[in-house]
Amino acid sequence: MMKKQMRKGKDYEFDFDDPEAIENFRKTLARMFSIMRKARGINIEQFQIGNIPTEKHTLKSEIPSSIILLHLHGGGYFSGTAKDYRAFASSLCKKLQVQVYSISYRLVPEHPYPAALDDAYYAYKWLLEEQSIPAENIIILGDSVGGGLTLALLHRLSKLGLPQPKCAICLSPWTDLTFTNNSYETNRENDDFFNYTNLVNAAKKYKGKESADNPEISPIFADFKDFPPIFLQVDSTEMLLDDSLVIAEKMKKQGVSVTVDVLDGMFHDFAAFFRMPVMRFAPEFKQAITNIREFVDSCERS
């Protein structure tokens, strides 16, 4: 049902130079995500990390976990907020038994690279320095462009010699904004979620005047040797399939512990739709969340 609805909008080409079109899309996304209810038993606190709107999710009935999850949402770099992703973040809090900080990083076209990455970096440093949270107690999770942003953040941390988090989770990450991976061609018709032209135009807006092969824009070109354990989850029909498979092979060659979870017959960033009515009862969604939880559990034991 969801794939059928997504397919209806696949041929629509978005005008990134039209402010009204962008605002309408953001409102449409907000309405869609508002259908999903947050998980029960979760407190949500809204505040600012510097100038970054943030939502903190904690379990009501439990002693707060010492593990902190920093969530970087999806939305093509031009849409999405912590509020939009509230249902997903609250589910992560409950299912993973962690505290979740979900940030609303700056978006394009108003704020091209490096604004989003700067905000993610600022939030991570705030957890380390202002909240005195050890890096080994932090997990970073990003979905879609947030997954690419997560890997770009790890690259920046490595480059600056800062401590890496315990582990990182990337759900359908966008890692190659040069569009050289084969699945952009082989899965172009199979992908129920993305219009290829929209992806190309979003990449142009995000990178601005920078080269798309900058590792902070396309982390597939990063140096991975200092990276923590990585979990990559993707569907086999996505144009972004190879953005996970190719980067996973590169990481493994540099000694990174990588878990690749490929599901079949779903769609882009499917785990983020876990709280969609009816869908949360589907076994595929439950399995996706279970696989994420098992990875987190393995990181905590290590």
**d(C-alpha 88, C-alpha 52), whole Å:** 19
**List 144, 172, 183, 218, catalytic entry:** 144
Q: Find where tokens 């909008």 sit.
A: 9
**List 57, 71, 155, 268, catalytic entry:** 268
- Put the strands of the sheet holding 230-235 in their side by side order: 42-49, 52-59, 99-103, 68-72, 138-143, 167-171, 230-235, 258-263
**List 102, 104, 238, 244, catalytic entry:** 238
**d(C-alpha 19, C-alpha 28), whole Å:** 14
Q: Which of 202, 263, 208, 257 is nearest to 234 (CA)?
A: 263
The answer to whether residue 210 is catalytic is: no
Cis preceding-peptide flag for 109 (omega within 30 of 0): yes
Q: Measured between alpha carbons, how far is residue 227 from residues 13, 18, 105, 219 in Å?
A: 36, 39, 23, 12
The answer to whether residue 34 is catalytic is: no
Output the six-digit token pair for 133.
């949270």
Phi, psi at residue 99, to the nearest 5°?
-85, 140
Catalytic residues: 144, 238, 268
